Structure 1
């Protein structure tokens, strides 16, 4: 493989595989939510922490990892991240309860944070400007492929071998990436070394933790004063963090404000967060809907999502190349508009008893829109960034994306739980009229108690009252049917307002693209990032 060492496309394949691995579990975990709830006896908010703790650690440490990449070398950080992520995947697969799984997912997030910003930094250092859009388009397509492979492969593994294998599958991928990284990626160090801003890291991490805990656990604690105090604390910590960063602008800040003087970078920061809110808003509630309402297996649910995501992966490199020639402004606006239309269409057609075929047109439109976003978004964001700031810009952009993910996940989860609690109560009250009088109060109270105790998503499980001894089998079966119908219709009623949030955020992202400067990259005489090759370490 030595003759391929340093080859830009061989390097891109290696980086893309590592990036793919970090994204695979994010979508695969969404498919496995009902299974993990059953096998680990966990509530919905506990499983949301399995998703959120990974994103929390990732978002909090991305900029720091980007700085460490500048200091220690991006290849060294990439290799360390892949190794840590692979070991943590084994620990996730061996977890015996929600607490163990959440802890292992935190370690996974640490590994992902170490490797992810290095992928963009090395791509920028490896590809000349006239080919960078195509390379970033491929990099963006990896997100689409991971989106396909996550639900589909995750569904296959959950159905055939159990939820633990969505983590164990990372082991061979991680081993292959380690070998490829050590043999194919040269040790290049773009820019100059940076110092770490430890107080900034602590403030940012604390702010994200308060925000995530408040949004994720708000429904469980009835949005009491403590929850609102956490959310207020998050806002205060963010303000202190920004003030702290302002004082360090001449001394290696964690968040260089100079990046945001470039209008295109500032707008793409908003768009990147909006896209992530849209992605998590699509996958989190819709995967639960497919399995818990429509009764699809995990595999079938993944396959239902696959065609739209295949379309996304096919379109993404084309959109990346087009952004090199034409600029990404109108491609981005069109893609985001299609994404929002697809999600709104899906919200309109979602109902109890829908066939998988009825969901394909809106999912295809959403997938087409997603495919037009990732490559052009990164190309526009980094177009005017100075080479010495490439590592910082990569870390900041990825951090903002992940903040969008974690905020979207927590907010969508909070809205889903809140709306589901209310709709289940209303449905239970209406449908209890068809039950014997002595069961009606207990039936409604069962759903109300389930909502207050942390919702367990799945066909009314745990909400239907225990029938008295001697109840006829026909009546028991009737109560179970009514409980299942209550959950199914209640979830559909909660799904639509839940999807309204990510749709609105995507629309705002599309509108903000109007501020992007018109640009044509063709014929630009732009040099690639100045890289200083270092002696390869053994």
Structure 2
């Protein structure tokens, strides 16, 4: 059983950042030892440094989504390229976050945290200066490496600096600020895109990072874990990164080339083989970053499958919804960021209430109901109502989705915590964090196929009905980089061009609905797995 002190020290408000962070971030804090080699005399400044650091990574993971249409137009990027703008970051964050936490335990949390901030900041500046899509993707990959160092470091520092009731208050403060940044981040990022440029969202990290490093240098002790492993699991980390990269690359290319293309088959096959090798490496490693024996727990395996499926759907929705609102509905980046507000706001308002339901009804009941409600939210997003206004089409779906996520996150953390012994809580929470981030990575790649293929099929059907010539179909498609700048026309005059533009917008909405259908199926599957795998409350 899990340590009851951990349960008591985790405030229910710690779940409010679930929309952008990962489900067990607060548990990472709780799992830290309560003693450090050097006491911290400036705890408030240390907390401010860790909150600033983790907030930069959380915001960067969400704000970029509302900037993607602007990035695509300015850099002339393909759909696959803008997928990689997001996936390059998620790939290295998801595959290296476990070894990043181990580095902090071994080399010193402050040292690794500051190194992560510095690397993240240099990469942010490179993103802002990127002359083309390839340079931007490369810089985003380096950003992901920096985030893999700073995110677990920031959580570990909070756990190491605070103990007892002070730790609970610190987690509450961290969670409260996280809730605000989750809600305000996409809106503020959209405003920066509209008022200045998409490059501004990356340059903003530079002064914030300088302040974070100054606070960390002056206030955070360089604590270490005495029981940290002697060697880091670099073979496992490299295998995970290479396998996920190859698999994701193959899936991304499949949307344009098809699964029959030899290049796609080789990439996906190589990814599967390397990931199989990763499992073998972890099974034989003396200090694996992902110990396989924790999956012997039925509850732990079930909780991670639920995490994978629910965050897969959420990651896909948060990627394609802003893109569709901007391209098909003509939203500004600020409006698209504001359109996502129902999810974090509802999580923030209701998390304390739903957190208390876990002890009353048990994790299995809530992990069955929560993903089911989220599935209903995705289903509403798939209905023809999304053709209408935001308030009648998108808002109800996002409100229900937010309610479902609110119900889901607290019992997920509780289940992960209760599935392992207290000394392995940190390992279990780290694995669950990585699963949530890998789920978003796979969602952008897999649902990209669904989106692109559904869009092309729907657009072809509509243009056939309008008797548009083949030559005219190559002009002005909304999925193309400069689709907003070149009006569609086949020489038949403005009225026909308007019909073509409407067909393109409706085809994109059809593609979003197809994505929502898959996301709903995943959420409902998560509910079924929870009902079957999670043990009932005793």
Same fold (TM over 0.5): yes
Indicate how the Cα distance of structure 1 residues 183 and 158 shifts in structure 2: closer, same or farther if over 3 A, else same.
Answer: same
Larger radius of gyration: 1
How far residue 106 of structure 1 moved from its aligned partner, in angstroms, is 1.0
> Helix, strand or coil for the counterpart of 2:287?
coil
Indicate how the Cα distance of structure 1 residues 329 and 76 shifts in structure 2: closer, same or farther if over 3 A, else same.
Answer: farther
- Would the aligned equivalents of 1:272 and 1:397 in 2 still touch at CA under 8 Å? yes
Residue 275 of structure 2 is matched in structure 1 by 238
Query: Is 1:288 paired with 2:356?
Result: no
- Which digits, 9 at most, give the CA deviation of each residue in 1:191-227, with x for residues without a partner? 5122122322222121111111011121222331220
- Which digits, 9 at most, give the CA deviation of each residue in 1:231-281, with x for residues without a partner? 122111111221222122xx1123211222333332222222223212212
Query: Is 1:156 paired with 2:173?
Result: no
- Would the aligned equivalents of 1:120 and 1:394 in 2 still touch at CA under 8 Å? no
Aligned pairs for 1:516-535 within 5 A: 516-517=534-535
Q: Distance in 1 between matches of 2:474 and 2:149?
A: 47
Q: Distance in 2 between matches of 1:414 and 1:498?
A: 9
Residue 522 of structure 2 is matched in structure 1 by 505
Match of 1:477 among 494, 514, 519: 494
Indicate how the Cα distance of structure 1 residues 78 and 264 shifts in structure 2: closer, same or farther if over 3 A, else same.
Answer: farther
Residue 284 of structure 2 is matched in structure 1 by 247
| TM-score, normalised with respect to structure 1 | 0.83
How far residue 325 of structure 1 moved from its aligned partner, in angstroms, is 7.5
Aligned pairs for 1:131-530 within 5 A: 144-190=179-225, 192-194=227-229, 195-223=231-259, 224-248=261-285, 251-320=286-355, 323=358, 328-386=363-421, 388-432=423-467, 440-444=469-473, 455-456=479-480, 464=488, 467=491, 475-514=492-531, 515-517=533-535
Q: Distance in 2 between matches of 1:216 and 1:383?
A: 37
Between stretches 154-163 and 82-91, larger displacement belongs to 82-91
Indicate how the Cα distance of structure 1 residues 122 and 373 shifts in structure 2: closer, same or farther if over 3 A, else same.
Answer: farther
> Helix, strand or coil for the counterpart of 1:478?
helix
Unaligned runs of at least 5 residues, structure 2: 1-37
Unaligned runs of at least 5 residues, structure 1: 468-474, 521-538
Q: Distance in 2 between matches of 1:407 and 1:140?
A: 27
- Which digits, 9 at most, give the CA deviation of each residue in 1:416-472, with x for residues without a partner? 11111221111111122xx6xxxx23234658xx69xxx4267676694564xxxxx
- Would the aligned equivalents of 1:320 and 1:375 in 2 still touch at CA under 8 Å? yes
Q: Distance in 2 between matches of 1:111 and 1:257?
A: 26
Q: Distance in 1 between matches of 2:182 and 2:303?
A: 21
Q: Distance in 2 between matches of 1:213 and 1:220?
A: 12
Give the number of aligned pairs. Answer: 498
Q: Distance in 2 between matches of 1:337 and 1:157?
A: 36
> Helix, strand or coil for the counterpart of 1:241?
helix
Q: Distance in 2 between matches of 1:17 and 1:383?
A: 30
Indicate how the Cα distance of structure 1 residues 311 and 116 shifts in structure 2: closer, same or farther if over 3 A, else same.
Answer: same
| TM-score, normalised with respect to structure 2 | 0.83
Q: Distance in 2 between matches of 1:211 and 1:128?
A: 42
How far residue 490 of structure 1 moved from its aligned partner, in angstroms, is 1.1
- Would the aligned equivalents of 1:137 and 1:375 in 2 still touch at CA under 8 Å? no
Q: Distance in 2 between matches of 1:215 and 1:334?
A: 31
Between stretches 317-326 and 38-47, larger displacement belongs to 317-326
Q: Distance in 1 between matches of 2:122 and 2:482?
A: 32
Q: Distance in 2 between matches of 1:143 and 1:500?
A: 30
Indicate how the Cα distance of structure 1 residues 177 and 314 shifts in structure 2: closer, same or farther if over 3 A, else same.
Answer: farther
Residue 523 of structure 1 is matched in structure 2 by none
Indicate how the Cα distance of structure 1 residues 499 and 50 shifts in structure 2: closer, same or farther if over 3 A, else same.
Answer: same
Q: Distance in 2 between matches of 1:183 and 1:507?
A: 48
